[in-house]
Structure 1
Amino acid sequence: MAKTLGLIHTSATLVPVFQELTDKYLAGKGLKIFNIADDSLIKNTIERGKLTPDTARRVVGHVASAEEAGADFILVTCSSIGPAVEMAAELVDIPVLRVDQPMADKAVQMGKKIGVVATLSTTLEPTSDLVRRRAVVAGKDIELTSKLCEGAFEALMGGKPEVHDEKVATALKELSQQVDVILLAQASMARVVDQLAEEDKKVPIIASPELAVQHLTEIL
């Protein structure tokens, strides 16, 4: 019988991003896929500066709904609500993956000095915390450097993508002098990597969406 994958997003803009990745890596596996998108989750989290209990409860509700809708596996595609995803995973009978876990595991394998870059503090903290915990699971000592690109997210939302890209590029260049590998806490930053000159990519820079879907190909 065909397996069903439920994707839970905090923005409808992520639906085509993951559609492209699942088409690339999971096509021909006879997999059924459905999406649930609720942008109030991320909007509330940004507004309040943290993941609050009422938002976390709604994440748990969406995960439970996806299970009821017949999902055999759930991927939640936003890092900012990661802690709620782990909570939800304890309350359903199917596997639930937070999008940044495969990325955190890969970074821990790749080096001791790990950098995390984000444009939102609400994403920087959960991702940094996850990397620390995955290092403990892997039995590795790491040095973590977190970097927030102040004002970059506001610039992107305010219709100034070039200002966002410039701030992110500057952070990546600075961090690449100090670490073995850089994690992008938000998938929206990945396009900046493509714009960097080769000499500025001194270390591997990894993002979560592709790694998460590749991880799914191994376990589904």
Structure 2
Amino acid sequence: MLTLLHTSPVHVPVFDALRDEEAPGLALRHLVRPELLDRARELGPDAVAEEVAAALAGAAREGARAVLCTCSTIGAVAEAAGAGLGPAVLRADRPMAAAAVAAGTRIVVLAALASTLAPTEDLIAEEADRAGRAVRVRTVLVPGAWERFEAGDTEGYLEAVAAAAREVPAADAIVLAQASMASAADRLTGGVPVLSSPRTGLRAAAQLAASDRSLSGLRTT
């Protein structure tokens, strides 16, 4: 069984559909904890470390072979809390960050939430160090996008993200920092890779749930 830790219920059907495509038959359990993101935005990700650790411990007790955290803001907290837990804990945006580093040295990160920018930039730096590559990261906060997401204006949200992506100057990869942004990539054309986390994150976590739970050698594309 793979457990997914979400901070929004909108991700549940998205990851169910991806499971059907990438790993049919894999049992998923969804934990939806929006209050974790609310507090992390207000007080910083470390403020929810104990609650995240408790959620992960509960997933382990209920038989999870692996846990995927789909929230970029608390992803690093989840991975840290999961160290030594038993089930492997993976943040969904890690494979995306690895793919961005592999794409080139000029990486632009788009985010709808300010609280996501620093964790994503830190993750890309970590993956660049792992790969032995030097990269330049530029972050862009998409104005007004999160307000549209919270209001249920999915069309407006995705178009705001896509519009921001179209304004990106020369880059080797554009990273959509939040899982909820993924469908904005469908609105874009051009040669620059536009990377999102749901598919590659689910694929990697499914491998963990089915294998030796090692984070090495995961498919990221």
Change (3 A) 1:164 1:11: closer
The alpha carbon displacement at 1:169 in A equals: 2.4
Percentage of matched positions with identical amino acids: 37
The alpha carbon displacement at 1:52 in A equals: 4.0
Correspondence list, 1:45-84, <5 A: 45-46=40-41, 48=42, 50-53=44-47, 55-84=48-77
Correspondence list, 1:58-207, <5 A: 58-175=51-168, 177-196=169-188, 198=189, 201-207=190-196
* Deviations 1:166-190 (CA, angstroms, capped at 9, x unpaired): 4322320122x22101110012222
Specify which structure has the bigger relative contact order, considering alpha-carbon pairs within 8 angstroms and separated by 6 or more residues.
Answer: 2
Indicate the SS of the match to 1:59: helix
Q: Distance in 1 between matches of 2:15 and 2:32?
A: 12
Q: 1:39 maps to what in 2?
A: 34
Change (3 A) 1:42 1:82: same
Q: Distance in 1 between matches of 2:10 and 2:2?
A: 18
1:15 aligns with 2:50: no
| CA RMSD in angstroms, aligned pairs only | 1.8
| Residue type at the aligned position of 1:42 | L
Q: Distance in 2 between matches of 1:78 and 1:110?
A: 23
Count of equivalent residues = 209
Indicate the SS of the match to 1:35: strand
Whichever of the two has the greater Rg, that structure is: 1
Retained in 1: the 8 A contact 2:182–2:198?
no
How does the TM-score come out when normalised to structure 2?
0.87
Change (3 A) 1:164 1:32: closer
1:215 aligns with 2:207: no
Retained in 2: the 8 A contact 1:49–1:122?
no
Unmatched runs of 5 consecutive residues or more in structure 1: none
The alpha carbon displacement at 1:17 in A equals: 0.9
Retained in 2: the 8 A contact 1:49–1:121?
no
| Residue type at the aligned position of 2:115 | T
| Residue type at the aligned position of 1:215 | A
Retained in 1: the 8 A contact 2:109–2:177?
yes
Q: 1:6 maps to what in 2?
A: 3
Q: 1:25 maps to what in 2?
A: 22
